[in-house]
Structure 1
């Protein structure tokens, strides 16, 4: 029997997930095609620079902003399939991945999107894609799915694991060094451009949803129970910056304590600036290269929204996206809240 697809960036809805304060994120929203609902969940974002970005989400949604997030314009993806990951190499060449191992590609700055042939079985959703350049991209997903192209997507190679593990994120600080994060504390690393991958111990079996390496040696992973870990030696050793590596039930932690440490889904550190996003409107920012993190309290109902992804542009500006069409702009250590994305 095929297992149910886990929602991107969220654990399967077990007591462990609820203990982490993730009850609000366990149910993936759905609506019929004829519904008049105006806002859709957004699962990933890519900042091309400080003003331009792409976001993807439910029902084949692709959005583009060129005015620092003041307005977002829908683009035709040609599908109603949920889209979970997006990345660009420069302004023209980009990829989107989603449910049923879907891969879409553009080479005209998002004006048109074409489907590429995936070597991954259609029962495996792809959750993240990383474009190293116009020819090389990696994508990861459920059931240990890993795939790569070296020719702009004309051909994709299946590099999937034999382990039955969900892989949620992938980071390449350069062409040779890459890192993949997933459930059960999984962290994979390569130093030969993906020819071989080895497991790196992180000291926990908690699910890791996000990974970001600013250099081949310095990186961060984030995950369940508000966990933030940092390495200074390429994943050989890890230090806890936030949360705990020890497992705990909601009975042990208490519900209010669990809510203080909601699941964290997205992370990026670039230069002096870093951002972490997560459940219950969680935003952490850093202005010292990820040495320390400051929590930002979002106003009102925004505190109930799960924030799935963050992407920083060339400088300290970037974008955050999440549930119910949530979008926000990052300006250094400030979180600027424009209107939610509206579909037409």
Structure 2
């Protein structure tokens, strides 16, 4: 807590890893060693919000997202997944079957459904706000870094070594394409016009929905 208070006073010196905004004013940013800050003025000022998160070990908080239905989820190290049903005011840890690091969470486009993903190609899917989880089989063992759900329900996850995983059945199964360059990607945006924006170690590029072909 001493470090968190120091960060609140001088600004965090440890990495911030993800951000979520409810609207133009209210948002949360999460990061390494359990950093959580909240703003209610569009980012002009930030207040320490780590006290609302049950994370006594100060594990890295790697991702935050809001799923269909309104619940918020955080993904963290050591199998930790956190849930909020009041727009981030309060958080609870929920049990998952995996004890490695999760690097992100995304919804599936269906109310109360969520995917958590991370090391070694692990993807877990819940249909009940994280109360129970099922392992989703994939054909990769590479770290999955990020994901996004398109307006049409397509889910795309991106991983190390150029792997792009796509689901058209709300996360029940995924197909994998590995780009020839094998550059690692750390974020993805699913565009409405059937394309993707991939961000990684060589910058950003736009491709078709499969990740195969470059688009202008």
Does the alignment reach a TM-score above 0.5? yes
What SS is found at the alignment partner of 1:184? helix
Distance 1:149 1:183, change over 3 A: same
Mapping for residues 1-344 of structure 1, pairs under 5 Å: 38=7, 39=12, 40-75=14-49, 76=51, 77-79=53-55, 80-89=58-67, 93-120=71-98, 122=99, 124-131=100-107, 132=109, 134-161=111-138, 163-174=140-151, 176-215=153-192, 217-226=194-203, 228-232=204-208, 234-235=209-210, 237-239=212-214
Deviating more after overlay: 137-146 vs 97-106: 137-146
Structure 2, unmatched stretches of 5+, are none
1:72 and 1:119 map into 2 onto residues whose CA distance is 34
Please report the RMSD computed on the Cα atoms of aligned residues, expressed in angstroms: 2.3
Deviating more after overlay: 85-94 vs 165-174: 85-94
Q: Shift of the alpha carbon at 1:231?
A: 2.0
Q: Shift of the alpha carbon at 1:170?
A: 0.9
1:191 and 1:129 map into 2 onto residues whose CA distance is 17
Count of residues in correspondence between the two structures: 205
Q: Shift of the alpha carbon at 1:157?
A: 1.7
Q: Shift of the alpha carbon at 1:83?
A: 0.5
Q: Shift of the alpha carbon at 1:201?
A: 4.1
Q: Is the 8 A contact 1:185 1:205 kept in 2?
A: yes
Write out per-residue CA displacement over residues 177-225 of structure 1, whole angstroms, 9 at most, x where no aligned residue: 1111011110011112222211124332111111110227111111112
Q: Shift of the alpha carbon at 1:47?
A: 2.0
TM-score (norm 1): 0.55
Q: Is the 8 A contact 2:22 2:87 kept in 1?
A: no
Write out per-residue CA displacement over residues 247-267 of structure 1, whole angstroms, 9 at most, x where no aligned residue: xxxxxxxxxxxxxxxxxxxxx
Q: Is the 8 A contact 1:116 1:154 kept in 2?
A: yes
